[in-house]
A and B are shown apart, each in its own frame.
Chain A
Amino acid sequence: MRSKVVLRRLYKNRQARYGFAALILLVALAYVGPLFGNYEWTEKDFLSFLSPPGPDHWWGTTSIGQDMYAITLRGMQKSIVIGLLVAVISTGLAAIVGAFAGYFGGWVDRLLMSGVELLLVLPSFLIIAIVSPRLKSDASWLWFVVLLAAFSWMVTSRVVRSMTISLREREYVQAAVYMGIPRWKIIFRHIVPNMSSLLIIDATLNVSAAIIGEAALSFFGFGIQPPDVSLGTLIASGSGNATGYPWLFAFPAGLLVLLVLSVNLIGDGLRDALDPGSNS
Chain B
Amino acid sequence: MGKYLLRRLAINVILVALAASLAYMLAATTMNPRATYQGRQPPIPEAVIDQTLDAYNLNDKTPVLQRYATWASGVIVGDFGKTWNGGSVNAEMGRRIFVSLRLLLIGTILGFAVGVALGAVSAVRQYKLSDRLIGVSSFVIMAIPVFVLATLLAIATYNVNRGLGFTLIEYTGEYNPRLSGFDQFLNRLNHLILPTISLSLGSIAFYSRIQRNMMLDVLGQDFVRTAMAKGLRRRTALTKHALRTALIPSATYFAFAFGTMFTGAIFTEKIFAWHGMGAWLIDAINANDVNSVAAVTFFTAICVLFAAFLSDLLVAALDPRVRVS
Contacts and interface: CB of A to CB of B under 8 A. Distances in A.
B partners with A: yes
Contact of B285 (A129, A215, A235, A239): A129
B231 to A, nearest CB: 28
A93 to B, nearest CB: 20
Nearest to A239: B151
Contacts of B194: none
Interface in A132-153: 134
B141 to A, nearest CB: 10
Given A123-B301, A125-B281, A219-B267, A261 B143 contact: yes
Interface string B48-59: 000000000000
A264 B143 contact: yes
Contact of B19 (A121, A219, A279): A121
B281 A126 contact: yes
A242 B155 contact: yes
Contact of B30 (A122, A134, A242): A134
A256 B145 contact: yes
11 contacts: A118-B15, A121-B19, A121-B305, A123-B297, A126-B293, A127-B26, A130-B31, A216-B145, A219-B267, A239-B271, A279-B213
Contacts of B22: 122
Interface residues of B, number: 43
Interface residues of A, number: 37
A132 to B, nearest CB: 11
B301 A121 contact: yes
Interface string B122-156: 00000000000000000110111101100110110
Contacts of B27: 130
Given A131-B26, A257-B145, 19 more contacts: A117-B15, A121-B18, A121-B19, A121-B301, A122-B301, A123-B301, A127-B26, A129-B282, A130-B31, A131-B30, A215-B145, A220-B282, A235-B147, A242-B155, A249-B155, A257-B148, A260-B143, A261-B143, A280-B213
Given A121-B19, A123-B301, A130-B285, A216 B147 contact: yes
A239 to B, nearest CB: 4
A126 B148 contact: no
Interface in B240-275: 266-267, 270-271
A3 interface: no
B16 interface: yes
B148 A253 contact: yes
B300 A264 contact: no
Nearest to B147: A219
Contacts of A121: 15-16, 18-19, 301, 304-305
Task: Pick the most buried of B158, B214, B282: most chain A CB atoms within 10 A of its CB.
Answer: B282
B168 to A, nearest CB: 16
Given A208-B143, A257-B143, A126 B297 contact: yes
A246 interface: yes
A243 B152 CA distance: 10
Dominant SS at the A interface?
helix
Contacts of A120: 304
B158 A243 contact: yes
Interface of B: 15-16, 18-19, 22-23, 26-27, 30-31, 139-140, 142-145, 147-148, 151-152, 154-155, 158-159, 212-214, 216-217, 266-267, 270-271, 281-282, 285, 293, 296-297, 300-301, 304-305
A120 B16 CA distance: 11
B147 A239 contact: yes
A216 B16 contact: no
A172 to B, nearest CB: 25
A130 to B, nearest CB: 6
Contacts of A129: 282, 285
Nearest to B145: A212
A235 B301 contact: no
A128 to B, nearest CB: 11
A265 interface: yes
B216 A216 contact: no
A265 B139 CA distance: 8
Interface string A144-173: 000000000000000000000000000000
A117 B18 CA distance: 11
B143 A235 contact: no
A243 B172 CA distance: 15
Nearest to A254: B148
Contacts of B18: 118, 121
A181 to B, nearest CB: 35
A98 to B, nearest CB: 19
Contacts of B296: 123, 126
A220 B304 CA distance: 23
Interface in A226-280: 235, 239, 242-243, 246, 249, 253, 256-258, 260-261, 264-265, 268, 279-280
Given A131-B30, A253-B148, A260-B143, A125 B19 contact: no
A86 to B, nearest CB: 15
Contacts of A256: 145, 148
Contact of B151 (A126, A222, A242): A242
B30 A280 contact: no
B221 to A, nearest CB: 12
Nearest to A265: B139
B209 to A, nearest CB: 9
Contacts of A249: 151, 155
Task: Pick the most buried of A121, A219, A256: most chain B CB atoms within 10 A of its CB.
Answer: A121
B155 A243 contact: yes
Task: Pick the most buried of A126, A130, A280: most chain B CB atoms within 10 A of its CB.
Answer: A126
Contacts of A117: 15
